[in-house]
Amino acid sequence: MMDVGRHPNITLYSYSEVDALTGFVGNFHITIRRKARYVVESECTACNDCVEVCPVVVPDEYQQGFSSRKAIYIPFPQAVPSAYVLNMEECLGNNPIACGKCAEACEKKCIDYDMQDELINIEVGVVIVATGMEVYDPTELDEFGYTRHENVVTSMEFERLICAGGPTEGHFLRPTDRETPKTIGFIQCVGSRSENRGNPYCSNICCMNTVKDTLLLRDHYPDIEAKVFYIDIRAFGKGFEDLYKRSREGGVKYIRGIPGEIEENPETKNLLLTVENTTTGQLEKHELQMVVLSLGLVPRHDGDLLKRFLTLSNTVDGFLMECHPKLKPVDAPTRGVFFAGCVEAPKDIKDSVTQAGAAAARASILLNAGKVKVEAITSRIIEEKCNYCGICARVCPYHAIMEPDRKAKKAPVVIQAACAGCGTCAAECPQDAIEMRHYRDEQYLAQIEALMAERPHEHIVTFACNWCSYPGGDDAGTARLQYPTSCRLIRTMCSGRVDEDFVMHAFRLGAPIVLVSGCHFSDCHYIDAVQWTQKRVERMWNKLERLGIRPERLQLDWISAADGQKFARVMRELEEMLKTVTMEEIKHTMEVLSNGKAEKKATAAKKAKVKKKTPTKKAKVE
């Protein structure tokens, strides 16, 4: 930690957050908000004079609330930077009349009540996301009585109670009577591996953390009797099994079964655990003086903004999704962005360090190369078709299209470097005046025609986006989930690319069912392009209905990249729907849509409605 503070190549912004982040690989623009610390970091010598005079006493979050700190404080003795911070919400007021004792006491005069947040703009080529995780809050698991029984503590609290730098200076005491307990129980998988409450995944670190805790206890207090209640002990890493064996041999009792209930003896404050020992099948009762809940890890609750900035998405467990689970485990799907540590999945210190090294190496490749090629899939305005309506500029999630000038007959301009290639503009353009490089309209129409060339009535034309639903289909394949063969898939970069023309063309050529699929709203790789998909599909449902075509035949699903289960389920469900579409119905649709008049009438009916709502003049071209 000290090395970071003094490294000449590192600028450390502590007590700071990313306020805004734009740009793309090689060219990220970041605004960092440096929160007011009210102490001049560079001047502070950590002399402690201010702390001594501060009259405000609050629980110390570093010590898990077991001890207290002042409103001006240093988080912990080894903190980097080694400077105090004043919590203004706790401070008696930045009015020196109210208090102002610390400013008075400070010899260096580095306390500044008027300090403001500072915004700093930086430019970088790569971003490493290492925002970590949070620890599970066991409050909802009422059977363990964490909020009711004082002697039930969490594994994080245990760390402070056993630590020489902790509130008890390393004397391990239980909260109620401040005596060293003679018996202690550890409950594993709290918040992990449960389908009902908490999370279904294994949090990776908690088994070994408990093994470590029992060894620490044995070293300091050989007389404490420790019991561990578990589902499985997962000691899979190098040297882990050895530690586990040492723990068992040291007399720690491992009992397979998670207690169903913890009751407190109101007099002794001892805890009575009821557990079904799944090895013997017996119901057991254990009286213990203290219980430690071995907490799992959960994704950060405040990561959404950053996800938006970097267009990242989650796997089903809520941790960030990597580019490829085996081949690119530290790369984000967004180029130039890498993951390190628990933000990607729960992991221990060794794995975090390993991944951080890998992320740094991957990032170095780009930094050393000094340049990067951008995929040639951006959008292009066909000026002669453009009627200057400006819809494209309004729908672009990246604001990469400059508004047209209707009077000057100046077509909109696409800023190539900012365009990510989602194709929403091309799909929304009423004039078909936008072409996506490498993913042009005629290519999609040709694909649809090819798929509909034989037995069209047997096929479900499926549009799947490159980032979620297509890999969701891959996931179904990798897991060998079997589903009916009727699906005929067409890949689009984003579901926002799926033009109304594509869907109508498929129906015109005899498709019984069309499925549009993309990322969940929170996962959209093109910021919010997916909302245009939703709007457009809703519009198409209305249009189909006006044409006398069952809207049910156009289906919509959001399928995440890790959700092969859903992909297969949707395919099975659509197969059932397919059976309900009769040949007469398909023929009728084909006739209606081939007869340009009917379609135009339906469109005109809609336009008339729109016209009523918005008095904007429609271009004469129509």
Window 203 to 242, contacts with other proteins (CB under 8 A): 208-209, 211-212, 215-216, 237-240, 242
Please name every residue paired with 443 in a beta bridge, in sequence order, or none if there are none.
none
For other proteins, the closer of residues 342 and 586 by Cβ is: 342
Judged by CB under 8 A, the chain residues 538 through 567 that form the site for other proteins are 538, 541-542, 551-552, 554-558
Q: Which two tokens stand for residue 157?
A: 């609290």
For other proteins, the closer of residues 75 and 390 by Cβ is: 75
Using DSSP, state whether 283 is helix, strand or coil.
strand
Judged by CB under 8 A, the chain residues 575 through 614 that form the site for other proteins are 577
For other proteins, the closer of residues 535 and 618 by Cβ is: 535
Judged by CB under 8 A, the chain residues 34 through 73 that form the site for other proteins are 37, 62, 64
For other proteins, the closer of residues 98 and 369 by Cβ is: 369
Task: Give residue 21's region: left, alpha or beta (phi > 0; psi -120 to 50).
Answer: beta
How far apart, in whole angstroms, are the C-alpha atoms of residue 389 and residue 431? 9
Binding mask 493-522 for other proteins (x = CB under 8 A): --------x---x--------------xxx
How far apart, in whole angstroms, are the C-alpha atoms of residue 112 and residue 129? 32
For other proteins, the closer of residues 189 and 273 by Cβ is: 189
Q: What is the 3-state secondary structure (H, E, C) of 422-491?
A: CCHHHHHCCCCCEEECCCCHHHHHHHHHHHCCCCHHHCEEEEEECCCHHHHHHHHHHCCCCCCCCEEEEE
Judged by CB under 8 A, the chain residues 84 through 103 that form the site for other proteins are 85
Judged by CB under 8 A, the chain residues 274 through 303 that form the site for other proteins are none
Among 99, 102, 290, 363, binds other proteins (CB under 8 A): 363
How far apart, in whole angstroms, are the C-alpha atoms of residue 50 and residue 47? 8
Count of residues in contact with other proteins, rule CB under 8 A: 156
Candidates 106-114, 283-291, 338-346, 388-396 — which segment interacts with other proteins by CB under 8 A? Answer: 338-346
**Shortest distance, CB of residue 364 to other proteins, whole angstroms?**
5
How far apart, in whole angstroms, are the C-alpha atoms of residue 448 and residue 450? 5
For other proteins, the closer of residues 142 and 375 by Cβ is: 375
Binding mask 454-493 for other proteins (x = CB under 8 A): x----x----------xx-xx-xxx-xxxx-x-xxxxx--
Among 54, 56, 153, 162, binds other proteins (CB under 8 A): 162
Among 42, 442, 613, 617, binds other proteins (CB under 8 A): 442
Candidates 141-149, 224-232, 280-288, 369-377 — which segment interacts with other proteins by CB under 8 A? Answer: 369-377
* 428 in contact with other proteins (CB under 8 A): no
Look up residue 320 and give its DSSP letter: B
How far apart, in whole angstroms, are the C-alpha atoms of residue 244 and residue 212? 8
* 133 in contact with other proteins (CB under 8 A): yes
For other proteins, the closer of residues 105 and 360 by Cβ is: 360
Residue pair 503/476 in contact by the 8 Å Cβ criterion: no
DSSP secondary structure, 102-119, as one string: HHHH-TT--B-TT---EE
Q: 147 Cβ partners below 8 Å, 6+ apart?
A: 139
* 202 in contact with other proteins (CB under 8 A): no
* 163 in contact with other proteins (CB under 8 A): yes
Residue pair 144/291 in contact by the 8 Å Cβ criterion: yes
Q: Which two tokens stand for residue 581?
A: 């579409």
Residue pair 8/89 in contact by the 8 Å Cβ criterion: no
Among 256, 307, 410, 437, binds other proteins (CB under 8 A): 437
Residue pair 285/272 in contact by the 8 Å Cβ criterion: yes
**Shortest distance, CB of residue 71 to other proteins, whole angstroms?**
13
Among 372, 418, 581, 605, binds other proteins (CB under 8 A): 372
CA 464 to chain centre: 22
How far apart, in whole angstroms, are the C-alpha atoms of residue 312 and residue 308? 7
* 16 in contact with other proteins (CB under 8 A): yes
Please name every residue paired with 275 in a beta bridge, in sequence order, or none if there are none.
284
For other proteins, the closer of residues 264 and 435 by Cβ is: 435
Q: Which of 218, 163, 164 is nearest to 186 (CA)?
A: 218
Q: What is the 3-state secondary structure (H, E, C) of 398-428?
A: CCCEECCECCCCECCEECCCCCCCCCHHHHH
**Shortest distance, CB of residue 342 to other proteins, whole angstroms?**
7
Sign of the CA dihedral running 412, 415, 419, 421: positive
* 526 in contact with other proteins (CB under 8 A): no
Give the count of beta carbons closer than 10 Å to the beta carbon of residue 559: 29
* 381 in contact with other proteins (CB under 8 A): no
**Shortest distance, CB of residue 138 to other proteins, whole angstroms?**
16
Judged by CB under 8 A, the chain residues 181 through 200 that form the site for other proteins are none
